[in-house]
A and B are shown apart, each in its own frame.
Chain A
Amino acid sequence: MIAHTGLVFGRFMRASYRQPALIAFTLVQPAIWLLLFGQLFQGVVHIPGFGDSSYIAFLTPGIVMMTALMTSGWSGTSFIQDMERGVMDRLLASPVSRGGLMAGQLLSNATTTFIQTILVFAIGIAAGARYDGGAVGYLVTIAASVLVGLAFGSLSNAVALLTRQQEALIGIFQFVSLPLTFLSSIMIDPTVAPHWVNVAARFNPVNWATIAARQSLAADPDWSSVGRYSLYLLAFTLIVGWLSTRAFRTYQRSV
């Protein structure tokens, strides 16, 4: 499986290098979000009870997670392209490891997330965000964003295998991604949000990642909270990763 993961990873990475316009777009998009939302909502820090005093510092880890989520939603499109041609059928009639097929694609997606995360931080810091925590905070944020990318990327791949339609994939993902973004602490401190939003956010993996990242970047991190949410996120990623690999069987039953 590891050898096949590497081979599949190499294939998708090579394909990305050959689409420089797409790379540019995926990198510019989070920069625009960060600057746009940073300006639009900067007043919220003045609401009594809002925890942070610099909105850009508050927002940056949130935009990291939002970017990871949005980018991973497109992950399944490469499977759909493979299904529209005979590539998927040829691969599934070969001894390729199904886990490797999934993992290789997801890792190429995670590489994009990794680069985007660093870029969002660079822009956030250039725009004035400052973090008191040390290097560990950045590492936790990167790890959490990669997990968000892997988890939602594998969900996207599973939806692709089950629906086999680009339109269905995009429709479903758009339906899910906005609630996942807004029912969380990505843009707003939960203390100023309605109670029910806080309840919903408790079950939102994107929110787990945001909390773990923000905590670990703080001056005096609550490491038990970071550890707990990171663990939730890791468990969620492993479960959906396993489930999505099972989706190959469902696809094969329907062809």
Chain B
Amino acid sequence: MATHALEAADLVKTYPAGRKKPPLRALDGLSVSVPEGVVLGLLGPNGAGKSTTVKILTTLSRADSGSARVAGYDVNREPDQVRHAIGYVPQKSSSDPMATGLENLVLSGRIFGLSRHDAVQRARDLLERFGLSDHGDRPVRTYSGGMQRKLDVALGLVHRPKVLFLDEPTTGLDPEARADLWNEVLRLSGQEGLTVLLTTHYLEEADRLAGQLAIVDHGRIVAEGTPEELKAGLRGDSVQVELVDPDTDGTVRSLLAQLPGIDEVLVEGNTLRARVDRGATAVPEVLGALEDKAIPVVAVTVSRPSLDDVYLQLTGRSFRVTEEAA
């Protein structure tokens, strides 16, 4: 069915000016919708408006204007119904470090109205499922980062929500813990039909987990689709040339732009990126042209389009560069 578990239209949110900071327009007319049972990845750099979107959809914060419905309820008019229907895993760890894993889960279950007996039962099931059974009676402050994050997700699931919000679930985790958590999220959406809204600034994570992607930039959605659709929107291959010296006066750039079959040349320091029709024929031409002008080259790579290229094309900035600036 084409019912939407989540629909947001024209969300605007401005944070007032504070000491030493100007007012910040975090959301600038953001609209997004997620069909039931789909994992939607909200992808974008820090400060793009991902967390603000999640905070508004979870009723934690309020938009200045715009509307949103989650699990069929209006976030402004029916916040209590929304709160019962959702699970929220904030960006920062949301467990009480002084309490044990079991106590955290039981308290959360009881807040949602489970009886003591049911809350304990549900807590034990979740500990088991996330591989934390042996640690359930230890205070959370003794947990590793990966264990704490699993507990956070478990805390979001205690009351069997219809929609789960994961705000940067794997930031700061080691690769093994990240892979673990990915499998868990895939299982949730696959076997249990849970609708998930996931924010991330890892392209790899979005590619792996999300059935639908929405790319956020400056508080708006700049592109939407499946990862494949977004990548298919890019013609040809991507060629990257790493130079010995930075192309400060733009000679290399204009040189490459003149070559047939090459367009969209972008320069970032020592690196040039170009979209080409066919990587295999473009590389010899690029190398030949550079050699004619005696421009030293460190490396040339050809790749199929990645989400990074999608992002680059949509925002004019490479994802990594944006990340470093943020």
Contacts and interface: CB of A to CB of B under 8 A. Distances in A.
B111 interface: yes
Interface string A58-99: 000000000000000000000000101111011111111000
B92 A7 contact: no
B61 to A, nearest CB: 5
Contacts, number: 78
Contacts of B112: 94-95
A252 interface: yes
A9 B86 CA distance: 25
A130 interface: no
B99 interface: yes
A89 B156 CA distance: 12
A18 B98 contact: yes
Contact of B60 (A7, A14, A96, A252): A252
Interface string B85-107: 01011111111111100010001
Given A4-B111, A85-B92, A89-B90, A94 B97 contact: no
B17 to A, nearest CB: 12
Contact of B93 (A7, A14, A18, A86): A86
Interface residues of B, number: 34
Contacts of B212: none
Contacts of A46: none
A interface, over-half SS: helix
A7 B86 contact: no
Contact of B61 (A3, A4, A91, A252): A252
A10 B94 CA distance: 18
A57 to B, nearest CB: 39
A195 interface: no
A96 B108 CA distance: 9
Given A18-B139, A87-B94, A89-B94, A95 B103 contact: no
Given A18-B139, A85-B94, A90-B90, A95 B80 contact: yes
B60 A11 contact: no
B62 A96 contact: no
Q: Which of under 10, 10 to 19, 20 to 34, or 35 or more describes the interface residues of A?
A: 20 to 34
B53 interface: no
A15 interface: yes
Interface in A1-34: 3-4, 7, 10-11, 14-15, 18-19
B253 interface: no
Given A85-B93, A90-B90, A7 B62 contact: no
Most buried by B among A3, A85, A94: A94
A18 B139 CA distance: 10
Nearest to A16: B98
The 6 closest A-B pairs by CB, nearest first: A86-B90, A86-B94, A86-B92, A90-B94, A15-B98, A93-B58
15 contacts: A14-B99, A14-B103, A19-B98, A82-B96, A86-B91, A86-B92, A87-B96, A89-B94, A90-B89, A93-B86, A95-B113, A252-B62, A253-B61, A255-B55, A255-B60
Interface of B: 15, 55, 58-62, 80, 83-84, 86, 88-99, 103, 107-108, 110-113, 139, 152, 155-156
